[in-house]
Amino acid sequence: MALLRLDGVCTYYGNIQALRDISISVEEGEIVTLIGANGAGKTTSLMSICGITPVRSGTVTFDGEDITALAPNRIVERGISQVPEGRRIFPQLTVTENLDMGAFLRRDTAGIKRDLDEVFSLFPRLAERRHQAGGTLSGGEQQMLAISRALMMRPRVLLLDEPSLGLAPIFVQHIFEIIKKINKERKTTIFLVEQNAYMALKIADKGYVLQNGAIRLEDTSERLLANEEVRKAYLGI
């Protein structure tokens, strides 16, 4: 049974249909990526999982439970954390205060302290800037902070929305290495939405191609990297 599953999901903005009967399966321990052009519906897919954009028809299932109609905070409580596009950290708060906000639903003080130390070990640069306001960090550092904030909830599934957006190439490579590390060392399942299709497919186990709100292709990442249609449309080859 898949840990996270979308079955026939249709989502609308008013009368405009954004997602058209999409079905996606994410097994526990996997990195699964969703690629597609701007406006294809990638972010809407994540918002539908999180309950922020209501699903009009179809179901979202997490660990065997139908979470389609749950409030966003209830979905977070069950173990799904999202790193939004554009990072959206709290710029006036310090790095540590941002991380504390990520653990706002938790009550296990010792566990929070342990995870804070683990996050600082994962991102030493954040440890160096723990008392610095989030808004004064570089773009790459803010992305590290956004990922770390989501990890402070100890999620079973981490949703990543365009983590490489606007970053210098050296940071892009580092962020994808960290994503792999989170998956392998923390045993966190990852659902990755990413416009850099090549980098996403290189680290993912399988991928879906979203086109005009509908799933166009589904396969292992290795096969999608070799697919002529994908290579021409998304890899620039």
Domain segments of the chain: what residues? 1-79+157-163+188-237
pLDDT at 147: 93
More confident residue, 236 or 149: 149
Binning pLDDT at 50, 70 and 90, where does residue 92 land?
A: very high
Q: Mean pLDDT, to the nearest integer, of 109-135?
A: 91
Lowest average pLDDT, out of 2-6, 46-50, 172-176, 188-192, goes to 172-176
Among candidate residues 33, 36, 25, 32, the one with its CA nearest the CA of residue 1:
25
158 DSSP 8-state letter = E
pLDDT at 236 over 80: no
Q: Name every residue whose Cβ is closer than 8 Å to that of residue 133 and which is 6 or more positions away in sequence.
A: 91, 92, 93, 94
Q: Mean pLDDT, to the nearest integer, of 79-100?
A: 90
pLDDT at 237: 67
Q: Any idea how long the chain is?
A: 237
More confident residue, 3 or 175: 3
Q: Mean pLDDT, to the nearest integer, of 195-222?
A: 95
- Write down the residue that tokens 């996050």 correspond to: 119
Encode pLDDT of 131-184 as tens digits.
999 989 988 899 889 999 999 999 999 999 999 887 888 888 888 999 999 999
Which residues on neighbouring strands pair with residue 127, listed in sequence order? none
Q: Which CATH class is domain 1-79+157-163+188-237?
A: alpha beta
% of residues, the chain, pLDDT over 90? 74
Encode pLDDT of 191-205 as tens digits.
999 988 999 999 999
pLDDT at 16: 94
Q: Name every residue whose Cβ is closer than 8 Å to that of residue 37 and which is 6 or more positions away in sequence.
A: 211, 233, 234
Among candidate residues 142, 138, 28, 121, the one with its CA nearest the CA of residue 79:
28
For the entire predicted model, the pTM comes to: 0.91
pLDDT at 228 over 90: yes
The answer to whether 31 touches 179, Cβ cutoff 8 Å, is yes
The β-bridge relationship of strands 55-62 and 31-35 is: unpaired
DSSP string of 49-77? HHTSS-EEEEEEEETTEE-TTS-HHHHHH
Among candidate residues 161, 222, 165, the one with its CA nearest the CA of residue 192:
161
Which residues on neighbouring strands pair with residue 10, listed in sequence order? 57
pLDDT at 164: 86
pLDDT at 68 over 70: yes
* Per-residue tokens: 72: 């966003």
CB atoms within 10 A of CB 155: 21
Q: Mean pLDDT, to the nearest integer, of 43-63?
A: 96
Average pLDDT over the chain, rounded to an integer:
92
The answer to whether 149 touches 98, Cβ cutoff 8 Å, is yes
Name the helix (H) or strand (E) containing 34: strand 31-35
